[in-house]
Amino acid sequence: MREIMNIEQEKALREYLQEAIVPLIEQVLVKKLGQAMSFAAEQLVQPKREWQGLTDEEMHECWGDPLTPLGMKHARMIEAKLKEKNT
């Protein structure tokens, strides 16, 4: 038959958990936090890449059909808006 823990046993178990398990959990959390901070720092110091626009040939390839001058103008306007939003 399973014994029910008395108050003293429960207190001893709580103290053990506090002294043994909690520091282990804290170590893991500190390690993971350090890894996350290192990753974030690496991402912040990476140089930003310069915007690379499409050549006229690439524009025509994407469109499928040859672009008219007006179509090319609109494509460049879209490209300029994307550049503005992403740089």
Torsion on CA atoms 18, 19, 21, 22, rounded to nearest 10: 60
Per-residue pLDDT, 31: 95
The amino acid present at 67, given as its one-letter code, is: L
Q: Which residues of 23-39 are buried (b: 16+ CB within 10 A; e: fewer)?
A: eeeeeeeeeeeeeeeee
- pLDDT class for 75, splitting at 50, 70, 90? very high
Per-residue pLDDT, 2: 57
pLDDT by residue (tens digit) across 10-67? 898 889 888 988 899 999 999 999 999 999 998 888 777 788 999 999 998 888 888 8
Domain boundaries, the chain: 1-45, 55-87
Per-residue pLDDT, 82: 92
Q: Read off φ and ψ for residue 6, nearest 5 degrees.
A: -85, 170
- pLDDT class for 76, splitting at 50, 70, 90? very high
- pLDDT class for 1, splitting at 50, 70, 90? very low
